[in-house]
Structure 1
Amino acid sequence: MPREAPHVGWRPGRRTAALALLFAAVTLGDPMSSARAARPLKLVALGDSLTAGYMLPAESAFPVLLEKALKARGHDVGIANAGVSGDTSTGGLDRLDWSVPDGTDGVILELGANDMLRGTDPAVTRKALDTIIARLKQRGIPVLLAGMRASTNLGPDYVQTFDAIYPDLAGRYGLVLYPFFLNGVAGDAALALPDRLHPNAKGVARIVESILPSVESFLARLQPGAH
């Protein structure tokens, strides 16, 4: 009598293992997406002395205080300080590639104050910022644009042309815009260094407090699946 062919269907052990894998796939989703979501977001603050922390202890610089504030609100994020005192928008463009390394998830772009103080043609500032944003977009790196405003002593034409740079670029590229980086700080001697231009430690803390909602909106765009 011929022997019965061996049964090659599901064995209990195989069935249990398969169900476990199915459950993991349903509950955990794409392993690569989960890994991306699990690691800290890496931001770069690309700016001038306002980012660098001019004349302040390193722990009082804007990127350090912002990172601390975000972590206190439950965000797993690291922020590199790519601020260079005295830098213009053109200077920021010149050093863009090495200031923003591969693997960066987002950039907080704060440049233009020195352009304004030097009376640089706003067209030059606009072109440099536009190029920075476009190059970062080509690399797949989103940008939060921190705006600057011109001093009124430069005249109404200059002020109008310069101040329009930031909302125009934000609209063109669909960026999160923080309209004025020194909002709530400019003109307040209690929040400035003796030069009356740069924020002191209390001034930087005020900047962080004010910009925090915009940064959180920006972080929401960086999450996997966000649009």
Structure 2
Amino acid sequence: MAETITVAALGDSLTQGYGLMREEGFTARLQDWLDAHDVDATVLNAGVSGDTTAGGLSRVDWTLSPEVGAMIVALGGNDVLRGIAPETARENLTGILEAARAKDVPVLLVGIAAPNNYGAAYRESFEAIYPDLSQEFDTLYFPNFLAPLTDLGEMSEVMARYVQADGIHPNAEGVKLIVEAMGPKVAELVERARD
């Protein structure tokens, strides 16, 4: 019988499940999705609210404990909120991916959509980090954590229906949609970990 693959989800409040009951958060819902689709994997919540790519880099070595066979990396939202230079975020994410590669742990890299607060050049530079690094490190890639919500159309309706009152974090229904969209990529990640 194939072994159960432990998937560490290294991220920030979106991964951690900010503002939600534990069973409604991203990692719990992802576990439910994997179980329902007969994917033999255990999801480990390595999300820390407020974490930046630097925080993720500082935690990656102990996150990649011997039982971890695959990793989801979903960081960068807090870097953007703080206006951290894209070059710095790129460097930190590179360090995280190098750590995973050194331990032969396959990665699903999850991007973000940067707002226009710091101008178009900043946004383009930040958003380019994810496809670039995914290609460089041959990771699986999910372009934008929140795209399953933002792609639904009229933002005011989306915000009212799928986002918490803070206007940033998905509510329980929003998390369900994100997991439905990302689940197949995570299943692919688990397969990659078995190869």
Q: Same fold (TM over 0.5)?
A: yes
Return structure 1 stretches of 4+ with deviation > 2 angstroms: none
The one-letter amino acid paired with 1:107 is M
**What RMSD over aligned residues (CA atoms) do the two structures have, in Å?**
1.1
List gaps (5 residues or longer) in structure 1. Answer: 1-33
CA separation in 1, counterparts of 2:104 and 2:188?
Answer: 18
Deviations 1:109-164 (A, max 9, x none): 00000001111100000000000000111011111101111002321100110000
2:34 is equivalent to residue 63 of structure 1: no
Q: Considering only CA atoms, is the larger Rg found in Structure 1 or Structure 2?
A: 1
Q: Give the conservation status (yes or no) of the 8 Å contact 1:67–1:79.
A: yes
- 2:163 alignment partner, one of 189, 192, 195: 192
2:59 is equivalent to residue 95 of structure 1: yes
CA separation in 1, counterparts of 2:65 and 2:189?
Answer: 19
Query: What secondary structure sits across from 1:193 in the alignment?
Result: coil
Query: What secondary structure sits across from 1:105 in the alignment?
Result: strand
So what's the TM-score if we normalise by structure 1? 0.80
2:144 is equivalent to residue 173 of structure 1: no
Count of aligned pairs: 188
Q: Identity rate of aligned residues, in percent?
A: 40
Give the CA deviation at 1:100. 2.7
Q: Which has the higher contact order (CA 8 A, sep 6+)?
A: 2
CA separation in 2, counterparts of 1:185 and 1:46?
Answer: 21
- 2:68 alignment partner, one of 83, 104, 114: 104
Q: Give the conservation status (yes or no) of the 8 Å contact 1:144–1:178.
A: yes
- 2:104 alignment partner, one of 137, 140, 164: 140
CA separation in 1, counterparts of 2:115 and 2:179?
Answer: 22
- 1:163 alignment partner, one of 116, 127, 141: 127
List gaps (5 residues or longer) in structure 2. Answer: none
CA separation in 2, counterparts of 1:114 and 1:73?
Answer: 32
2:189 is equivalent to residue 215 of structure 1: no
